Amino acid sequence: MPEYIIVGDGYAALFFAHQLIKNNRTFLLFSEGKKSASQVSAGIINPVVLKKFTTFWKAQEQIDGLKKTLAEIEQYTGKNYWIEANIHRIFHDEKERELWLKKSQTEELNPFLAQRFETLSGVENPHQTGSVMQSARLNVADFFSDMMRYLEQKGHLVLEKFDYALLNPSEQKYGDIRYKHIVFAEGMGVKANPFFSEIPVNPNKGHHLKVKLSSPIDHSFTVKKKHFLFPMDADTYYYGGTYDREQYHNEVDESAKAQLIGGLSEIYKAGYEVEAVHFGFRPTVKDRRPLMGAHPEFDSLYVFNGLGARGVLNGSYFSEVLYQHISQGIALPNEVRWNRFS
């Protein structure tokens, strides 16, 4: 009998699985084998809101926590997925550069906004760039392939869609499987979950381009003006992602693609080929904080959702908070309870 069942295979599910691995718990993880929003993500680890030059709740704690978590994961996968590659924010104009400088002198932003500006080669940056200290990237492709392989090797992985009709929460049974706790981490798939379909999560569709630059940029860090640009491998670059709250259909939006092409052409003049366009749905919440906690009637059922645009940091940090809540009864902070709006 597994103590835990996890439903999903994105950041929420895999970081929660890590908590179980670390604490020697028995569990099964259900993956329906679709490409999650997490796998489409850029994997940017960023303590700063780059539109307004502000930071967010627990940013420093989340960065420190992620480093610790990735070091723990390295012990069993053999790899650290943290890529040391700062974000270089291209300034739109002088006014923005001055605002950055002012903010960099505040106690809140001082640990994150570099006070020295740089001119980059290969991209348009007439007003220079500012570097976000402590920002980095996750090696998304390797993180997912290694974690899924590990889960399979250890017998945790069930490559099946979790069928809600087989769940009997009164008897704590899924088909013939007895469990103690279920953690639902389905991203926007939660809308099909009869126990948590009403949680206040909304899709925000994001697209990115995979491009081949005609003359590769000679640096490995992340460039950001409208969107993020960084190398995926020797040949190809990631450019994205867009934000759209209106489009829910499961196809590429030409308008999003055009927006990305426009944004990239503004900073990169040497010509490029679009090799692919990918999209996913971010599970977002109006106050930009996760949604967590137990079902009001069946207290063995939990939800872990609402990671929004910060799946890596939120997923890593709050999976530990949720694990401690379930295993030790430590109360969840009000800020992340799924029913905080009612």
Ligand X SMILES: Cc1cc2nc3c(=O)[nH]c(=O)nc-3n(C[C@H](O)[C@H](O)[C@H](O)COP(=O)(O)OP(=O)(O)OC[C@H]3O[C@@H](n4cnc5c(N)ncnc54)[C@H](O)[C@@H]3O)c2cc1C
What is the contact surface with ligand X in residues (CB under 6 A)? 7-13, 30-32, 34, 36-38, 40-44, 161-162, 185-187, 189, 206, 208, 240-241, 280, 282-283, 305, 307-313
Let me know: does 238 contact 210? Beta carbons within 8 Å.
Answer: yes
Let me know: does 199 contact 291? Beta carbons within 8 Å.
Answer: yes
For ligand X, the closer of residues 126 and 175 by Cβ is 175
For ligand X, the closer of residues 137 and 325 by Cβ is 137
Helices (H), 3-139: 11-22, 37-40, 59-77, 94-104
Query: Which residues does 150 contact at the CB level (< 8 Å), separation at least 6?
Result: 76, 77
> What single letter denotes the amino acid at residue 184?
F
Q: Distance between CA 124 and CA 104 in Å, rounded? A: 23
Closest distance to ligand X from the beta carbon of 194 (Å): 11
Closest distance to ligand X from the beta carbon of 288 (Å): 11
For ligand X, the closer of residues 56 and 76 by Cβ is 56
Closest distance to ligand X from the beta carbon of 201 (Å): 9
Query: Which residues does 128 contact at the CB level (< 8 Å), separation at least 6?
Result: 90, 91, 97, 117, 118, 119
Closest distance to ligand X from the beta carbon of 243 (Å): 9
For ligand X, the closer of residues 50 and 99 by Cβ is 50
Q: Distance between CA 221 and CA 46 in Å, rounded? A: 13
For ligand X, the closer of residues 93 and 275 by Cβ is 275
Closest distance to ligand X from the beta carbon of 240 (Å): 5
- Per the listing, tokens 């500012």 go with 130
